Structure 1
Amino acid sequence: MSRGVGWKSLWRSLVFSQRGEPLWFGGALLLCIALVLVACAPPTPPPRRLVYGLTLAPSGIDPHINASAELGIPLTSVYDTLIYQDPESGDFVPGLAESWEISEDGRVYTFHLRRDVTFHDGTPFNAQAVKANLDRIAAPETRSQKAVFMLGPYERTEVIDEYTVAIHLREPFAPLLDSLSQVYLGMASPDALRQWGPDYQFHQVGTGPFKFVEYVPNDHLTIARNPDYRWGPSVFANRGTAYLDEVIFRFYTDPATRAMALESGEVHVMGEVPPLDARRLSQDERFKLYAVPIPGQPLQFFFNTAKSPTDDLRVRQALIYATDREAIVNTVFGGLSPVAHGPLTRATPGYDPAVEGMYPYDPERAKALLDEAGWREVNGMRQKDGQPLRLEAVIMGWGYVPEVVQLLQAQWQAIGVELTVQQVPYGALLEAGRTGAVHLIPFLLSGTDPDLLRSFFHSGAAFNWSKVSDPELDEWLGQASRLTNWDQRSALYGQVQRRIMEQALVLPIRDYVNLNVASARVKGLRYDARGWFPWLVDVSLEP
């Protein structure tokens, strides 16, 4: 080709005649060139899809209505909250609200909202949206199982202007900020709430880093990246759009299937892996163990103080001294959980370490206390007035409680105490707690505010399974729920914990630890302050 002939001239000579008319083969050439360009283009990368294993198929997944912790695992990424809690410091930081003030009497919380947020359906987020959400939760027809109680003495929401809203309470309620940082009080699109009504759980719309795509009960739940997300809170490492395109949640209700699903590559992340499997997988370079301490209550047994013989303080104390909790934790939980010493776990704000030395394992002291209480040993069994020291417990099949109870039976038999156990459905366990039909009931409740103690140890509480009636304890619990000064609250909760253990109202076993295992390809996996809910906006998946 001569230097005077350029590509443009060559192109024209190939495609057009001398009179400027298009030649037939020109179109064919264009098609060929297009095909070559397509062939040379880099292939479209596959979607960055993460599969996350859940351990329970909840009965419903509307966070304003349902109470399951399992629903929060996916939906924490669908909804934003007014504020967030920093899992490291415990401080509350801005979320959908940029700032807030609390009135001197503790009854009015005023929030100043972000102005740049939209719901996934395009609806603007504003003060009216906050009011619509809180009023929906508080409405009796909603039949909220959890969120309505988290609002405490809620009275009304006042819209001051488009981006300022005030929550009015009938009386001070210190746990409100903690409540507002949880997914159960997440902000949903008012338009979607109106449009879908009772079917909203299948069409959820939030403002979070992921959009709700599909929920098929007992099978899967899918969320997809929100490409418009730009308002993440400071607790997120990634405050913009998510790295993942899609997350699919599948249910693995049988604990025996969870490790197998990880090892087969069926899932990338699995929660609540059985302890022995978790320890084994943690030694495999293909996986990483995320052992997350859970704030709230430990696994514990409530003693019924209104039913003989556990109505005797000496008997209750003897049973605690006779329990080798270290052996239980090592045998059942593979040493992956700390021994519990009081009614709160170490991960809970306000935990009082003074309870840790109160009940060391001491079977000889246990025997002495039973002797003092009139329970004498006869042929290896404790008797009083011709009656054996026999205790009854009801349990459920979760949380390795059956395995724990087997060890308790053996340890207590060594001091002459017989423990009979009946495994029952959840409803029957609640009824036994309400009526006081048995001596022991195991239970725990997770949460980051120690006010949860009020639900179990106030004399008028719905879950007062110890049947305790202590006016001073009632006063401390009530006062702590109304104070907004954390140091004052913490001091009161220290008194509460010490009183509970002095009176031996519970037998603590182990602090709960959520054993999550993930593929080594998963990077950036972090959990919120409650230890259950992952911040998936931070997660990426390596090839």
Structure 2
Amino acid sequence: MAIALFAALLASSCASDDESGDGGNGGNGGNGGDAAGEEIIDDGALNTGFVNTQEEMEPVEGGTLTMGMYSPITTLDPAKVNGAGTAGGIEMAALYDVLMRFDFETNDFVPHLAESLEPNEDFTQWTLTLRPDITFTDGTPYDAEAVAFNMQRLIDNRARIAPVMQGMTWEVTGPLEVTYNLETAWSGFPYLLAHQGGYIASPTAIQADPENWADSPVGAGPFANLAEFAANEVLALDANEDYWGEGPYLDQIRFAHLQGDAAKAEAVLSDDFEAGFIRLPVPAREVIDAGYPGFLTLNNSGEFLLMNNGVRDQTDRPTADERVRMAVRLAIDSQAYNDRGYDGMGFPTNSLMGPRSEWATESTVEADPEEARRLLEEYKAETGWDGKMSTITAVGSEDRAFSIQALLNNVGFDIEVEVLPTITDMINRVFIDANYDMISWGMNIADAEPWVALNNNLSSTSLANPSGYSDPQIDELLIELRGADDPARIQEILDEIQVIWDRDMPGVILSQQPELIAWNPSVHGVVPTIASMVLFNETFIAP
């Protein structure tokens, strides 16, 4: 189960598993319509993309950028972090760089540290070619052997990305070439190398001190020189003067943890920090409305109520019965939840792929408290159950949990709200203890590669499946989605998955979750990529 520890990104109160959702519309104006047949509040057409865009400027050398992070970083080993922007991905990219990145202008993955990545005709083989003459900061070559070594470490350390590497092998086929062979086709394979599979550390440094090498990490990123590191507090990195690409222009970058999105928003607005990661709708909108630039990601299924579908054979759980799960769904009105939890400023939806997604799907299930009450009474009469269940959240998200409690108690449930101190505690309750009825969660399905999060959360063979949900038709659709390259067919598959979700209701989707990386207007050259990550090699601070 350690493989799955960080496999699912958490919703509302939780850092995100799987996989942060990335929009592919590349800007602030697309997909603002009511694609899923749901009311969209007048929000200035906020969508995945840049907000408050800036004029281009000539880069300026020097300065330090401090960024307030969503969660603290605890290790500098790229195989042992969550890997997304919410949990270590931005820091890892600064230190180690990435092989590929997602380009929101072209809506496609493009080489970054890699020179090229080419598939065969059926996407069962991918050939990675590296740029020549790149070295780690210890002077050793950044070559194919280094990439293969780091790929194996992901498996050996049961990394967060490991579940999507099932059935995959790789071999060094040239000094700068690695060939990946896949048991089943995967058209979105570049996602792996833009995410945790793209953080490459020096094998020489690791082998010289296998236990402690991450205390003095050796990478090839734009900020590969460690200046300061205090776990859970701050990470400071100095510029790599021998960086292979453009930049870095900054002298130093600092990542600091601030508890609470309101605090991070205030730090940015007061210019105490040059940048900040903000994940709640109200403070995110405050920063945007104040005219601060940034990049906004709206995560599909970013906030939902995960229900125990019988994981580890817990068939006696009330939520293992589809009538109870459907009663929960019918009792919850996402707009009412948004009004209470986010002052009406969230992005409510009950669809897997939200109305602002390029792959928008439409849920046909609407809130119906009377039908919820009928299903619940039927189950109670049949089993003698008293309606008692718990829903779990983390400190800081109690109001939203109490909103769920009120909506469910209104139809006959008897819900207890359990508040855990940290996101780690929530992850442990799901993946280690498997002890929960309902819990605040999130899938964060990426527009750039929707298969990853859907497979992790819904496949019956996934080591990262948190609920125990299983359906053979879903398994077949996921295999097809993995290899699909035709946009029309991808949309059809996602629509079919939505229909099955509405029938089985593994969980209740509440909203698309915003993740805003905002920066001071004097900051320029921040480059976004997948999973709410950004690259800082081209970043500079104008006087």
> Residue 65 of structure 1 corresponds to which residue in structure 2?
80
CA contact (8 A) 1:317 1:366 kept: no
Q: Deviations over 1:488-509 (max 9, x none)?
A: 4443233122211222221111
Q: Give the letter for the 2:392 counterpart.
A: I
Equivalent residue for 2:182, pick from 158, 169, 176: 169
Provide the C-alpha distance between the structure 1 equivalents of 2:322 and 2:418, rounded to a whole number of angstroms.
24
Matched position secondary structure for 1:76 = helix
Deviation of 1:255 (Å): 4.8
Residue 370 (structure 1) aligned to one of 366, 373, 377: 373
Instruction: Check if 1:329 corresponds to 2:332.
Output: no
Q: Is the 8 A contact 2:301 2:510 kept in 1?
A: no
CA 1:123–1:359 in structure 2 vs 1: closer, same or farther (change >3 Å)? same
Q: Look at both structures and tell me which one has the larger radius of gyration over its CA atoms.
A: 1
Which residue in the other structure is 1:92 paired with?
Answer: 109
1:294-319 deviation line (CA, Å, top 9, x unaligned): 44532111234445654554543343
CA distance in 1: counterparts of 2:530 and 2:376, whole angstroms: 47
Q: How has the CA–CA distance of structure 1 residues 344 and 252 changed in structure 2, closer, same or farther, with 3 Å as cutoff?
A: same
Within the candidate set 178, 185, 197, 2:210 is matched to: 197
Taking the aligned partners of 1:217 and 1:312, their CA distance within structure 2 comes to: 43
Amino acid at match of 1:446: N
Deviations 1:394-432 (A, max 9, x none): 42316x542211111222333333322223464566555
Cα pair distance change 1:492/1:209, threshold 3 Å: same
Whether the aligned pair in 2 keeps the contact of 1:80 and 1:183 (CA below 8 Å) is no
- Identity over aligned residues, as a percent? 21
1:536 correspondence with 2:540: no
2-structure distance, mates of 1:347, 1:212: 39
2:412 aligned residue (402, 411, 416): 416
1:478-525 Cα shifts (integer Å, max 9, x gaps): 333355666544432331222112222211111111134433332344
What TM-score comes out, normalization by structure 1 length? 0.76
Which position in structure 2 is the counterpart of 1:446?
444
Report the Cα distance in structure 2 between the residues aligned to 1:107 and 1:279, rounded to whole angstroms.
Answer: 43
| Matching residue within 330, 345, 348 for 1:339 | 348
Q: Which has the higher contact order (CA 8 A, sep 6+)?
A: 2
Residue 246 of structure 1: aligned partner = 252
| Offset, 1:107 | 3.4
Q: Which amino acid aligns with 1:133?
A: N
**1:258 paired to 2:272:** no
Taking the aligned partners of 2:488 and 2:216, their CA distance within structure 1 comes to 43
Q: Find 1:76's aligned residue among 93, 111, 116.
A: 93
Amino acid across the alignment from 1:56? S
Secondary structure of residue in 1 paired with 2:211: helix
Please say which of residues 418-427 and 89-98 is displaced more in the overlay.
418-427
Tell me: CA distance 1:487–1:94, structure 2 relative to 1, closer, same or farther (3 Å).
Answer: farther
Local SS of the residue matching 2:149 = helix
Matched position secondary structure for 2:217: coil
Q: Write the distance in 1 (CA, Å) between the matches of 2:325 and 2:430.
A: 19
Question: SS state of the match for residue 359, structure 1?
Answer: coil
TM-score, normalised on structure 2? Answer: 0.76
Deviates most, 126-135 or 428-437: 428-437
**Change in CA separation of 1:516 and 1:72 when aligned onto 2, cut-off 3 Å:** same
Q: CA deviation at 1:67?
A: 2.0
Change (3 A) 1:346 1:526: farther
Distance, in Å, in 1 between the alignment partners of 2:61 and 2:104 is 34
Q: Judging changes above 3 Å, is the alpha-carbon distance between structure 1 residues 471 and 264 closer, same or farther for their aligned structure 2 residues?
A: closer
Structure 1 residue 268: deviation in Å? 1.7
For these two proteins, the number of residue pairs brought into alignment is: 471
Match of 1:132 in 2: 149
Q: Which amino acid aligns with 2:402?
A: Q
Contact 1:394 1:429 survives alignment (8 Å): no
Once residues 78 and 435 of structure 1 are traced to their aligned partners in structure 2, the CA distance between those partners, rounded to angstroms, is 34
Hey, which of these two has a bigger chunk of helix by percent? 1
Q: 1:354 aligns with which of 359, 362, 367?
A: 362
8 Å CA contact 2:247–2:538 kept in 1: the answer is no
Q: Which amino acid aligns with 2:275?
A: V
Letter in 2 for 1:354: E
Partner of 2:44 in structure 1? Answer: none
Instruction: Give structure 2 stretches of 5+ with no counterpart.
Output: 1-59, 310-314
1:74–1:249: 8 Å Cα contact kept in structure 2?
yes
**What is the rounded CA distance, in whole Å, between the counterparts of 1:259 and 1:81 in structure 2?**
28
* Conservation of the 8 A alpha-carbon contact between 1:112 and 1:164: yes
